[in-house]
Amino acid sequence: MTEITNNRFEHLLDLHHLKKTGPRLKVLAMMSAKNTATSQPDLEGLMEDVDRVTLYRILNVFEEKGIIHKIFDLNGTANYAICTSNCQEHHHHDEHLHFNCTVCNKVYCLNDLSLPAFNLPPGFKAEGFTLYASGTCPQCNKK
């Protein structure tokens, strides 16, 4: 991780009036080092020295602020990824495809894929969408 990257995270915390602390920067570093979402259990393993409760609180506040978004995988496990759409406090719009590999269980945020339009039955008013797909990912297809 570069200086610049680290500064970017510090700036991000500043923006949201959050104190720049070790645990928070580490969460951002861990998550941004991967091209897939990170599961809560994995994250807990990576944050060895940090208390479990602290991690939960960091994840909650990051989600509230629109820094990260939560995705439940096929097993119902919480996964987290940094938001690329410019989400706001209490107003996410991560309306991209989430691909869950049935082999390695990784969750991919396919941000570039635009969701096709569709209509809801009368009476329903939609605010947010997510398209989930499951199958095998490029890595697992190679082998």
What residue ranges bind Zn ion (CB under 5 A)? 101, 103-104, 137, 140
Neighbours of 38 (CB within 10 A): 24
- Give CA–CA dist 136/68, Å, rounded: 25
Q: At a CB cut-off of 8 Å and minimum separation 6, what does 127 contact? A: none
Minimum CB distance to a second copy, residue 120 (Å): 7
Q: Does 76 bind DNA (CB under 7 A)?
A: yes
**Binding region for Mn ion (CB under 5 A) out of 6-14, 17-25, 52-60, 106-114:** 106-114
- Rounded Cα distance between 34 and 53, Å, is 23
Told to check if 109 binds Mn ion by CB under 5 A, we report: yes
- Contacts with DNA, residue ranges (CB under 7 A): 13, 18-24, 40-41, 44, 49-54, 56-58, 60-61, 76-78
